Structure 1
Amino acid sequence: MKRFVRIDNPTSKDNDLIQNELKSGKEVILQFASRIYTDEVLANINMLCRESDENLCIRFYSHHSKLFDCKTLLKISYVKCLYIDCLHDVLNLDYLKELKHLKILSLGVFEMRDTEILDSENLKNLTGLFISDTSSKAFNLDYLRKFKKLKSLRIAGHTKNIDAIGELVELNDLSLNAVKKVPVGFINRLKDLKNLSFILGSRENLNEIEENSIENLDIIRVRGFNDLSCIRRFTKLQNLKVEDQIQLSEICFENEFPLLIDLRILNCKSLATLNGMNNLTGLESLVVYQTNIDFDKFIEQTFSNNLKTFGFYTTKAKADRVIKEVLEARGYCCR
């Protein structure tokens, strides 16, 4: 994960710091929570944007005392990475269409009335897009079909024409947040997809997903999720995180997963079975936290010779001390 630094209310005095952080490979986010920016400040930021790539991000958020006016965006016309998010409402959203150099956009306006904003010509050149939840469920995703350069996409709460995502042949990262029970078979058309996340929302399983090349899979707090038998199709997995899934009772690795190096099972209180550890031949790190798994039976399985970090926690202090002693006696590092 790329390191980043946030700078609140930047001025020209911060230019050296900004440029040094960018040269070190960090993502730099210049952010404003209210309308304290002047034309001079914006002109300086625009100059920095002109000289930098999309690792320099400009963010406007909050603005509780006064609505953010998107006409301001004309003063940073060279911006390549823009966050206008955590906003209740804005003025003149149409000015977003004037940003010809934009590559990454995070759009989070709760009262966004323009549900067809993705039909903007300049947005078709985006490589990264993050759309937050809005009061309207009519936000139209159909225009995504034309976003052929898009590599990273996060959608929160929107489902209208969601199958258009299947046309994004360059997509590498996809996060579906707070998306409720819509078919996700379109994922099977994303042959270059490597990172997939389901966060919040609701669905019982991921059985629509066929064999794939996904390397990183997160399933976090998805309501009603009770079946992970489809995991056998994720044979290219390197990292798997399953968290806050209270209806999931078992996970079984029936076939070999030679590439899986990190497995985290967190706060799945009904999970009583975690089998097939012998098939995780490349596993290096394992954390099991607050489940219904019997440690004494679980530890009898055969584990990867590469396993170095092994944490198993019941949240009961006495039991956890005993488990830690057992694991450390076997040479594992407990975290």
Structure 2
Amino acid sequence: MRKIWKKKILINDPVALDRVQIEQDLRDGNQVFVQFSHPDFYGSILEEVDELCARYDENFGVRFYAHYSLSFDCHTLLRVPHVKMLNINSLANAHNTEALAKLEHLRNLHVGIYELENSDILDIETLRSLTELTIMSDKKTLNLQHFKAYTQLEHLHVGGKVKNLDAVGELEDLNYLALHSIGKLPVHFVNRLRKLKHLRILLGGREHIREIEENDIDDLEICRVRGFNDLSNIANFRSITRLVVEDQIQLNEIAFDREMKALEELSISNCKGLSHVTGLKQLPSLRKLRISKTAVDFDGFIHQPLPSSLSTVEFATAKSKVDEEIQQSLLKLGFQLT
């Protein structure tokens, strides 16, 4: 099942809380964050926020961000002990991170601290009950070996400077994984994640992902990975329904040389060295196709055998006159435009 991203409602540095509106926003299926950019805005409202944290599930959260020229004091978190969804991100510095150990109700945590003081922050015992975690470390190398104890984690976005990345393979219930700026560290541990459905590889640098064997991943995204030039093992993603490839200037070809029965959506954009996308006939379920800002020749591309399931096509070159002509050609061929 495709991951559903909920709309986020942000209540910034409030003087008072509109409880009726918060209730309505949550009933409408949104996530609601009360967020604070500076200690001057804490006042006595944090205790009221904690009351709401105790009442609602993890779709109601608290965020601390910015705090420019200050180091965020994590002892502040002790004023919201019932928080279930917590973001402490877009922060340059923070101290007293051990206070996270007191948050026994925490299920969803986002940590983005430029100068993270504790490289073993993941060893905090209460974090082992998390189901969702986003954690980035830009300066200090984050130790991931503690993931062996994270038996409930289903969603992980991790990046920056890390060590023991292979420990991610211990997360048996992981459904969603985003690897952000992890350099050329091998990703063979993905083969041990039998429940993984969503894989995103963002930024960093690597030439390929050939170490990933046959799998049941449903959704694959590769975006702005420096030096990436080889997607020859795409057929190993036998259950994939959606493939997104963006900003890969060294990728010259995407060839579907084996049948991929499940693939429904294919999006390729800003891959300026890409001149060939072949074998689309091998995609009998393909419904939506987007190719934008590549070196693929439209006339040669559109006359290859295409699956009968294909109904929506976008093909753009960023040249307005050429794109107008392409759109007219697509309409004449019976395709819908996005």
TM-score scaled by structure 1?
Answer: 0.97
**Partners of 2:26 and 2:169 in 1: how far apart?**
34
Does 2:180 align with 1:177? yes
Does 2:45 align with 1:41? yes
Unaligned runs of 5+ in 2: none
Partner of 1:302: 305
**Partners of 2:240 and 2:173 in 1: how far apart?**
19
Aligned-pair CA distance for 1:131: 0.7
SS in 2 for 1:48: helix
Aligned-pair CA distance for 1:112: 1.2
Partner of 2:81: 77
- Give the counterpart letter for 1:79 in structure 2: V
- Give the counterpart letter for 2:27 in structure 1: K
Aligned-pair CA distance for 1:308: 2.3
- Give the counterpart letter for 1:198 in structure 2: I
Deviation string 1:41-85 (CA, Å, 9 cap, x unpaired) is 001100000011111121100000432211110110000010000
What are the residue-to-residue correspondences of 1:246-325 with 2, within 5 Å?
Answer: 246-325=249-328
Is the 8 Å Cα contact of residues 102 and 123 (structure 1) preserved in structure 2? yes
- Aligned pair partner of 1:145 in 121, 143, 148: 148
- Aligned pair partner of 1:232 in 216, 235, 241: 235
- Give the counterpart letter for 2:102 in structure 1: E
SS in 2 for 1:31: strand
Deviation string 1:141-167 (CA, Å, 9 cap, x unpaired) is 100111010000011113300000000
Partner of 1:188: 191
Is the 8 Å Cα contact of residues 95 and 117 (structure 2) preserved in structure 1? no
- Aligned pair partner of 1:6 in 10, 13, 21: 10
Partner of 1:107: 111
Does 2:217 align with 1:214? yes
Partner of 1:331: 334
Aligned-pair CA distance for 1:10: 3.1
Aligned-pair CA distance for 1:11: 4.6
Aligned-pair CA distance for 1:36: 2.9
- Give the counterpart letter for 1:306 in structure 2: S
SS in 1 for 2:268: strand
Partner of 2:63: 59
Deviation string 1:75-96 (CA, Å, 9 cap, x unpaired) is 1000001000010101211111
Is the 8 Å Cα contact of residues 35 and 66 (structure 1) preserved in structure 2? no
- Give the counterpart letter for 2:73 in structure 1: D
**Partners of 1:313 and 1:16 in 2: how far apart?**
46
RMSD: 1.2
Partner of 2:100: 96
Percent of pairs identical after alignment? 41
Partner of 1:24: 28
Does 2:184 align with 1:197? no
Is the 8 Å Cα contact of residues 39 and 75 (structure 1) preserved in structure 2? no
Unaligned runs of 5+ in 1: none
**Partners of 2:193 and 2:14 in 1: how far apart?**
39
Aligned-pair CA distance for 1:284: 1.3
